[in-house]
Structure formats: structure tokens, C-alpha cells
A = this chain, B = another copy of it.
């Protein structure tokens, strides 16, 4: 295992390990800002990201949506740059500048040709470190975020995931939508947003992550210049995210009776945390149940019966909790039948065959390796390791852990996880009392 970031002396650099073709290194700057890089010498581009260990889970109910709102406002201008100057700088070199907010972190990134990396470091660091959050910009962006909420509301296949989080986690931070609500967004003041920024976007909560055709020391120099003025004190980097004892209400059924063409259904239960050793067995189970076209749910619901176009299972992992869920979109008149098949398949998941086990492992193995060929996913992997794990697990170890999963492991995780109370979220014109 590798040295955790917070145990590394500020002002020093360590080589975490070499992983496949590239080398992963970390420098801790004064003040606790971390810079992690992975070299990919065969590409001609670089992905540059700044990650903050702040997400919707950190919000009290009255602030719901503040992390995401702030993410938008950071594009609106700094001491040195207007919103147009920020976007024009990256557009001019054909880069891809964007950001996203999750429940436990927020990421700002730019993907550029390698020669344009200094520009990307300068612009994205400026956005994150020197945002001015002008009141008029906060106001203009309020309308944008309300439209993002309306767009989500117009897409029931998207909305049903937020409804499901509510059904599973209830009135806890993990149960609330990342976007917030119309009410909470309308109530958030500029001072509240700015205070959130000042309190949370401190160097020890930030990780700068870069992957591509780059040189670690040069990146550290660029980041040091870009964050000059913020690199003081002897704060250690934040430790991995530990979560915060969510106390989910008993899982519920929530039905939104909307006039959609399809019934959009998610059935699921609490899964496992991202550091839970059972995550590899649950991943294999997920692949076998609903991860590909050969999976049981796809075969039963789509291939044999033609009841759905989109049907899949999925997992989500948080610091101290997780989700295992099944989605299907079908004719409202077939919703009972589809839901019953989903329930039956979850109930009989313990009888996975050796062939299905091997296929599930193969799926995870291939997806893991194929998923790490681009700079963006490498950048994401090393950043998340810094933010949420105790250490970076080499890809080879991930693959070995997948390979080691046995049928007994899968049966154990079925008994532990799938036997739990189920939550159900439905959007569509289904009968009263549906699902009960």
C-alpha cells in the first residue's frame, strides 16, 4: 500500500507507483494542496482537473444545491478574468472545459492538447482559487440552475434516479438531489454561496489531478505559480472522506403519477460503501444481473419478452453507504409484470452459475482496462483515490481482487445486501397502490 497523502510532509514529492505504462506521483504543497499526476507518454493531450471534497452531502437542508450552484458560479469570473475570458481562453485552443458536482465531491476540468496544458492550469486554477462570485452573476446563474432543474424534470429517465434516492435515503443528505430544489435555489443568497466557497475551497480540501503527456515537476511548478498566495501554513491534506453516519429512514415506495409514455421504475436497496471489501463481489453480481446484454435482467425483460428497451442494474458507492438498483422503462400496462420479474431476479440472485460468475468477472476486467485508455478517466481515478480512499489501488490489484471473487462471495453479498428492505421509485401513469 502507498503512503497516504496526509502522512506526507508538505513540500515533498513521492512516487506512488507505476501503473501500466505510466507513473503516478504526488506532491504535497505548503498549505496542504495536493498535486497528483499520471504520465501517459503515448498520448498528445492532457486532462487537468481540480477536485474539491465538497458535494451535496455536505449541505444542510436549507442549503440544498449550494455545492452545485457554486460550481456554476465559479465559471462567472475571477479577479483577472470575466466569464467570457475564461471560456474564450479554452475555446481558442479547442479544449473541453467543464465541471460536475456529485454527492461527495466537485470537479472542474479541462482536456487540452499537451502543449496547451500551461493555459489550462492557469485558467482552471484561477477559476477555483480566485473566484469573485459577484452578486449579479449569482443572480443570473440562478435562472440557469432553475432551467437545469426543469430540464431534469422533463426527462423521467433521469428524474427517477433522484426520486429513488429519496425513497431509499429519505430526509438525509444522501436522499436530496444534487441540484437542490426550486425553493432552495431561490432562497440561496450570494453571501451564503460565497461563504460556502470561502469555507470549503481551502487548499487542504483540494486535489489537483493531471493525466496525459506531462511532466510531474513541470506541472507542480505551474500549479505552484497558479495558486501562489494560497500556499501557506503547514496544514496537512484532508484525510479520505469518511461520510457521516447517514440514518436512512426505512426504504419507501414513491410513485409520481405523471402522464408519460413509459413507466420508469427503479427497484433497489442499500449497497456497500466504496471501501467495503464486498464491493468486488457486488460488482460481479451487478454485471451478471444487469450489466450487459447477456445479463439475466436483459435476457428476461428485453430479449425474451420484449418488454423494455432500457433495462439495467447499477451500483453507487459513497464513503459509508451505497446503492444497488435496477432500472427499467416499459409500457405502464406492463409495469406490474416488469416489476415482478425484477423482484424475482433479485430473489434468485444467489443461484448464480459458475459460468455467469466468470462472465461477470470478464466484464469487470475488460471494462476496467478499456476504461483507462483516455486521459480523463486516468485523471479521475487518481483524484478520487486522493479524495476518498486511504490509498491508490494499482490497476493490477483491482483486477486481482475481481479475479479472486468466488461463488461463495457472491452468495454472501446476496444474503447481506439483496435481502434488505427494498425501495421503489416509479414515474408514470400506474394504478393507485402500485408496487405494494
Contacts and interface: CB of A to CB of B under 8 A. Distances in A.
A293 B83 CA distance: 9
A309 B147 contact: yes
A43 B305 CA distance: 39
Interface string A287-327: 10001111100110011111111100000000000000000
A276 to B, nearest CB: 22
Interface in A118-172: 139-148, 150-151, 153-157
A36 to B, nearest CB: 21
Interface stretch (A91-99, A188-196, A244-252, A341-349): A91-99
Given A299-B84, A329-B151, A309 B94 contact: no
Given A303-B84, A331-B150, A370-B113, A363 B92 contact: yes
Contacts of A295: 91
Contact of A153 (B43, B261, B369): B261
A366 B44 CA distance: 11
Contacts of A157: 151, 154-155
A43 B35 CA distance: 26
A88 interface: yes
A107 interface: no
Contacts of A291: 91
A367 interface: yes
A256 to B, nearest CB: 13
Nearest to A295: B91
Contacts of A309: 144-145, 147-148, 150-151
Nearest to A264: B154
Given A144-B306, A147-B329, A147-B331, A94 B362 contact: yes
A353 to B, nearest CB: 12
B306 A142 contact: yes
What is the size category of the interface that chain A forms with chain B?
Answer: 35 or more
Contacts of A92: 294, 358-359, 362-363
Given A87-B292, A87-B293, A309-B147, A94 B330 contact: no
A370 to B, nearest CB: 6
A358 B156 CA distance: 40
B370 A373 contact: no
Interface string A358-395: 11001111111110011100000000000000000000
Given A157-B151, A329-B147, A329-B151, A93 B374 contact: no
Nearest to A364: B94
Contacts of A94: 362-370
A354 to B, nearest CB: 13
A261 to B, nearest CB: 4
A262 B293 contact: no
A348 B287 CA distance: 52
B259 A308 contact: no
Interface of A: 42-45, 75-76, 83-84, 86-88, 90-97, 111-113, 116, 139-148, 150-151, 153-157, 259-262, 264, 287, 291-295, 298-299, 302-310, 329-331, 358-359, 362-370, 373-375
Given A43-B373, A90-B293, 9 more contacts: A86-B293, A91-B291, A92-B294, A97-B293, A143-B307, A144-B306, A146-B331, A150-B329, A154-B155
